[in-house]
């Protein structure tokens, strides 16, 4: 049952339309391509399991008494499995599971070139697959990933409408080594990736990478059922890596890559001191679903 709590089982869909009944997840997404409000379809048993664990006092007790360690160990074990040659046989099953949601024509390399599941999962796309909007205008930020996107003008707004953790704050999210006073009441953009998404993330602004700060932590799911819970603090307790990017147009921008259940591995392809251009590849998440948060100065 613990495996079923993973993002692997998150059957998100852009085309299912509105659903109701026992299998409904009640996670609504506005699809900008079709201009439709759709619901992410998640198996009803998984929804009940997540709610029991993340949205109840009993679940909180389980989390505090060792479930977080189980999730971490499970993620590490699954990560090793997905790096093994035997895992390549799961690629066709995954494509079948998410039929219509993964466009292999966009993929840079042919499917037969992937020797493990993780090689497929962190696949690169053809340069033309994701054109960068206003590429020569540094005053316009772009999307950091294929995702379900939420943008808030302030942290207070985000906690009223989305993040319900007991102790969420910018200081808690960034940690002492990456927090600046200018971020305190800044804007917040959340990019949530589901398993079927392209799992490389890109720089949303142009500037210089000042630093990377790695913060160890838990590996809770980043599913909204957990994020919207008042009983746990997904974004401030999960493992994450923070990058501070210094830009002429936005000042400092905090780029936070957050691990999740089945996502113990966060890899950056840039280093401190690098100048990055808007749209450059910045890194990738290995197997699972995950989240990027960008914090802009006030």
Instruction: Give catalytic residues, as residue numbers.
Output: 146, 202, 290
Cα separation of 116 and 113, whole Å? 9
Cα separation of 253 and 183, whole Å? 8
Residue 159 tokens read as: 């906690």
Closest CA to 168 of 148, 190, 147, 146: 190
**Which ranges of 11-115 does DSSP label H, i.e. alpha helix?**
44-54, 57-62, 68-82, 90-97
Using DSSP's 3-state secondary structure scheme, residue 155 falls into: helix
Question: What's 194's DSSP letter?
Answer: P
Cα separation of 298 and 291, whole Å? 22
């Amino acid at each position: 049952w613990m495996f079923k709590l993973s993002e692997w089982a998150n059957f998100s869909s852009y085309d299912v339309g509105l659903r109701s009944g026992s299998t409904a997840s009640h996670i609504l997404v506005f699809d900008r391509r079709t201009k439709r409000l759709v619901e992410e379809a998640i198996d009803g048993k998984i929804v009940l399991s997540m709610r029991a664990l993340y949205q109840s006092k009993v679940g909180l007790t389980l989390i505090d008494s060792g479930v977080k360690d189980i999730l971490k160990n499970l993620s590490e074990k699954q990560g090793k499995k997905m790096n093994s040659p035997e895992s390549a046989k799961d690629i066709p099953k995954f494509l079948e599971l998410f039929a219509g949601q993964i466009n292999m024509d966009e993929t840079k390399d042919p499917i037969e070139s992937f020797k493990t599941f993780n090689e497929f999962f962190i696949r690169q796309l053809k340069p033309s697959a994701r054109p960068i909007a206003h590429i020569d205008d540094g005053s316009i930020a772009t999307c950091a990933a294929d995702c379900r996107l939420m943008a808030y003008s302030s942290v207070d707004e985000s906690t009223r409408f989305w993040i319900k953790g007991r102790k969420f704050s910018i200081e808690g999210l960034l940690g002492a080594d990456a927090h600046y006073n200018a971020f305190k009441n800044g804007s917040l953009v959340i990019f949530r990736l589901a398993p079927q998404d392209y799992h490389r993330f890109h720089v949303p602004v142009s500037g210089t990478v000042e630093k990377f700060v790695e913060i160890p932590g838990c590996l809770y799911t980043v599913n909204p059922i957990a994020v919207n819970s008042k009983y746990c603090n997904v974004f401030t307790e999960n493992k994450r890596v923070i990058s501070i990017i210094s830009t002429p147009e936005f000042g400092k921008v905090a780029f936070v890559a957050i691990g999740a259940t089945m996502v113990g591995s966060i890899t950056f392809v840039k280093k401190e001191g690098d100048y990055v251009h808007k749209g450059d590849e910045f890194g990738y998440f290995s197997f699972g679903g995950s989240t990027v948060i960008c914090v802009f100065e006030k």
